[in-house]
Structure 1
Amino acid sequence: MKRLDRYIAEQVLSAVFVILLIVVGLDLIFEFVDEADDINERYRFTDVLAYLVLRLPSRIYEFLPLSSLVGCLVGLGMLASNSELTVMRAAGISIQRIVMAVMKPAMLLAVLALILGEYVVPKTEQMAQSSRALAQSAGQAMRSQYGVWHREDDQFIHINVVEPNGKIHGVTRYRFNDQRQMVESSFAKSGVYTADGWVLDSVARTMFLEDHTSIQQVEEENWKSGLTPTLLSVIVVDPMDLSITGLWSYSSYLSEQGLDPNQYMLAFWSKVLQPAGIFALVLVAISFIFGPLRSVTVGQRIIAGVIVGLVFKFSQDLLGPASTVIGFTPLLATVIPIVICLFLGLFLLRKAG
Structure 2
Amino acid sequence: MKQIDRYLLGGIVKGTGLVLLVLLALSSFIGFVGQVDDVGQGSYSTADAMVYVLLTLPLIAYQMAPIATLLGALLGLGNLAANSELVVMRAAGISPWRLTRSVVIAGVLLALLSAALGEFIAPPSEQYAKRFRTLSINNELSMGQGQSGWIRDGNVIVNIEQLFDEGRAGGIYVFRFAADRTLASISQARTAVFTDDGHWVLGDTRRTEFDDNNVSAVSEVELRQPTELSPSLLGLSVVDADSLAVRGLVGYIRYLRANDLNADQYVTTLWSRVAAALSIVIMAVLALPFVFGPLRSSGAGQRVFIGVLIGAAYFLGNRLVTNSGAVYGLDPVLTAWLPTLVLTALTLFAVSRVR
| Structure 1 residue 170, shift from structure 2 partner | 7.3
2:32 maps to what in 1? 32
| Structure 1 residue 27, shift from structure 2 partner | 0.8
| Structure 1 residue 184, shift from structure 2 partner | 8.1
**Is 2:281 the partner of 1:279?**
yes
The correspondence for 2:243, drawn from 226, 241, 244, is 241
Checking the alignment, whether the CA contact within 8 Å between 2:176 and 2:183 is kept in structure 1 is: yes
| Structure 1 residue 49, shift from structure 2 partner | 1.8
- RMSD, aligned α-carbons: 3.4
1:111 maps to what in 2? 112
Q: Secondary structure at the match of 1:352?
A: coil
2:175 maps to what in 1? 186
Q: Per the alignment, do residues 270 and 60 of structure 1 end up closer, same or farther by CA in structure 2, a change over 3 Å counting?
A: same
- 2:290, 2:35 → 1: CA distance? 39
| Structure 1 residue 233, shift from structure 2 partner | 12
**Is 2:158 the partner of 1:172?**
yes
- 1:36, 1:215 → 2: CA distance? 47
| Structure 1 residue 235, shift from structure 2 partner | 6.5
Q: Structure 2: 5+ residue runs without aligned partners?
A: 161-171, 188-205, 213-233
- 1:314, 1:269 → 2: CA distance? 18
Q: Secondary structure at the match of 1:132?
A: helix
Checking the alignment, whether the CA contact within 8 Å between 1:290 and 1:349 is kept in structure 2 is: no
TM-score w.r.t. the length of structure 2 is: 0.75
Aligned residue runs from structure 1 range 194-209, under 5 A: 205-206=184-185
- 1:160, 1:272 → 2: CA distance? 36
- 2:304, 2:274 → 1: CA distance? 27
Question: Which residue type is aligned with residue 36 of structure 1?
Answer: V
Deviations 1:247-272 (A, max 9, x none): 12112222222221111111100112
TM-score w.r.t. the length of structure 1 is: 0.76
2:190 maps to what in 1? none
Checking the alignment, whether the CA contact within 8 Å between 1:186 and 1:203 is kept in structure 2 is: no
1:180 maps to what in 2? none
Deviations 1:187-244 (A, max 9, x none): 58xxxxxxxxxxxx96763468x9x97679xxxxxxxxxxxxxxx9996453123111
1:221 maps to what in 2? none
2:76 maps to what in 1? 75
Question: Which residue type is aligned with residue 184 of structure 2?
Answer: R
1:289 maps to what in 2? 291
Q: Structure 1: 5+ residue runs without aligned partners?
A: 152-156, 162-168, 175-182, 189-200, 217-231
Q: Per the alignment, do residues 48 and 184 of structure 1 end up closer, same or farther by CA in structure 2, a change over 3 Å counting?
A: closer
Alignment length (residue pairs): 301
2:322 maps to what in 1? 320
Q: Per the alignment, do residues 318 and 170 of structure 1 end up closer, same or farther by CA in structure 2, a change over 3 Å counting?
A: farther
Q: Secondary structure at the match of 1:296?
A: coil
- 1:114, 1:234 → 2: CA distance? 24
- 2:262, 2:341 → 1: CA distance? 27
Q: Secondary structure at the match of 1:205?
A: strand
Q: Per the alignment, do residues 173 and 117 of structure 1 end up closer, same or farther by CA in structure 2, a change over 3 Å counting?
A: closer
